[in-house]
């Protein structure tokens, strides 16, 4: 029998992508859609409507008639014991508390009862919480056992920030094979990464690049070190290489592009780097949402391009091109990557985490 799931924040840009990721899923079925009081009581299709009446659907395909007609509930009224797994894609605002505290309170209420896979940052930096990328740090999953000390019957597992995901995936094989001393990265991030409600105004981004995304650089630095950190069965010791990044917003709908410069601990040729990247990630091949290759390499120097490459392996591959030596850094290597921010970087990446947790016996 399939496991029933709820999607919290189902009307948002990340939340919408859960619909194609879960419709016809072999292990999971959508039972509940929840969002804010703005959407509560409406059918899903009506909750997606903008004030003009147009349907604000930004994910691929279209929801099935069954999903369109589901009634969206207020997340405050959602009883997590009515489903097997909860997926969250909602940052909550409440007067008198920070966004993080309000979102933690929401996710903790679910995690007390059920496995909760989150796309938000609310719990990412807690000591008893792993930030999981299947294929990269599967062993960190065992940390969720410690969450029973909070009195929870379930647990919370966040995925990384969507800008961290592709970089951590490409760094992991390099770290394992050659070690890393320093990582420098500049991102060119898609508009959908800013969400639908907060968003970026069309007039601000048209003909423009915005050189700052609040809080993003700190998240990427901290999360990369935690994800690639060593887990000794009790705690994660963050990886000790330095990460420096500049995160920018560009006029692209979906797909974050990143220029990455790595100073390796040991010398490696371009061919060595390509080999370890292309061989990486086979241990999740049995998961239904896993891409056939985690890292897809391009030899054509005009790739990766968001428009052409973001949907490779249904947006679950990290696409890498322009791998070359960097003479400006000791043992320097540089490359360009592309990662789909609302698929691998959000909803379908969270579904992949749930699949891993099922396979490993935590769900
Ligand atoms: N966009 C991305 O590429 C991406 C990638 C990775 C992670 N994320 C994370 O995913 C989360 C959502 O981002 P987004 O881009 O999808 O934002 P968004 O498009 O603005 O959507 C926000 C969603 O949150 C819902 N919401 C607001 N208050 C709520 C409440 N009290 N209870 C339940 N739902 C509530 C909204 O419902 P209404 O429609 O009813 O207002 C909407 O569904 C953020 O934490 C973000 O960092 C986003």
SS3 102: helix
Domain(s) of CATH 3.30.360.10: residues in the chain: 162-339
Token reading at 347: 């909803």
CATH 3.40.50.720 residue ranges for the chain: 3-159+346-359
Q: Is the CB of 32 under 6 A from ligand 1?
A: no
Q: How distant, in Å, are the alpha carbons of 6, 171, 228, 331, 357 from that of 175?
A: 36, 6, 8, 13, 24
Give residue 199's pLDDT.
84
**Known active-site residue 245:** no
Residue among 6, 8, 33, 36 whose CB has most ligand 1 atoms within 8 A, to mutate: 36
pLDDT tens, position by position, 41-68: 999 999 999 989 999 999 989 999 999 9
**Integer Cα distance of 128 and 157 in angstroms:** 10
281 pLDDT higher than 90: no
The residues with which 55 forms a beta bridge, in sequence order, are: 49
Check if 92 has its Cβ closer than 6 Å to any atom of ligand 1: yes
**Phi, psi for residue 57 in degrees, rounded to 5:** -100, 120
Q: Does this model's pTM top 0.95?
A: yes
Instruction: Assess contact for 356 and 284: CB atoms under 8 A.
Output: yes
Q: Does the domain made of 3-159+346-359 have the CATH classification 3.40.50.720?
A: yes
| The domain over range 162-339 is classified in CATH as 2.30.30.90 | no
| Average pLDDT of span 341-357 | 98
Taking alpha carbons only, the member of 244, 228, 239, 229 closest to residue 186 is 244
| CA–CA distances in Å: residue 61 to residues 2, 14, 97, 197, 267 | 23, 15, 38, 21, 45
Relative to beta strand 28-35, strand 3-8 is parallel
């Amino acid at each position: 029998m399939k496991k029933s799931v709820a999607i919290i924040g189902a009307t948002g840009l990340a939340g919408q992508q859960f619909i194609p990721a879960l419709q016809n899923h072999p292990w999971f079925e959508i039972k509940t859609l929840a969002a804010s009081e703005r959407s509560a009581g409406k059918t899903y299709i009506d909750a997606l409507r903008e004030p003009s009446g147009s349907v604000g659907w930004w994910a691929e395909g279209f929801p099935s008639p069954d999903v369109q007609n589901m009634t969206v509930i207020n997340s405050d009224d959602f009883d997590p014991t009515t489903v097997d797994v909860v997926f969250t894609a909602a940052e909550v605002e409440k007067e008198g508390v920070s966004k993080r505290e309000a979102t933690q309170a929401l996710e903790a209420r679910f995690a007390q009862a059920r496995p909760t896979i989150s796309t938000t940052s609310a719990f990412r930096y807690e000591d008893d919480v792993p930030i999981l990328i299947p294929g990269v740090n599967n062993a960190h999953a065992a940390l969720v056992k410690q969450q029973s000390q909070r009195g929870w019957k379930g647990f919370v597992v966040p995925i990384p920030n969507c800008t961290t995901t592709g970089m951590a995936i490409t760094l992991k094989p390099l770290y394992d094979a050659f070690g890393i001393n320093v990582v420098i990265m500049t991102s060119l991030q898609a508009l959908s990464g800013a969400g639908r409600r907060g968003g970026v105004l069309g007039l601000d981004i048209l003909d423009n690049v915005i050189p700052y995304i609040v809080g993003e650089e700190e998240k990427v630095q901290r999360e990369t070190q935690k994800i690639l950190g060593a887990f000794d069965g009790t705690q994660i010791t963050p990886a000790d290489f330095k990460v420096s990044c500049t995160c920018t917003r560009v006029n692209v709908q979906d797909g974050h592009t990143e220029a990455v410069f790595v100073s390796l601990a040991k010398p490696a040729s371009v061919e060595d780097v390509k080999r370890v990247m292309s061989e990486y990630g086979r241990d999740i091949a049995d998961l239904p949402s896993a891409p056939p290759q985690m890292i897809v390499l391009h030899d054509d120097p005009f790739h990766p391009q968001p428009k052409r490459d973001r949907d490779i392996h249904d947006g679950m591959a990290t696409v890498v091109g322009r791998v070359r030596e960097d003479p400006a850094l000791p043992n320097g290597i540089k490359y360009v990557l592309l990662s789909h921010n609302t698929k691998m970087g959000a909803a379908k990446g969270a579904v992949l985490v749930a699949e891993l947790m099922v396979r490993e016996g935590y769900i």
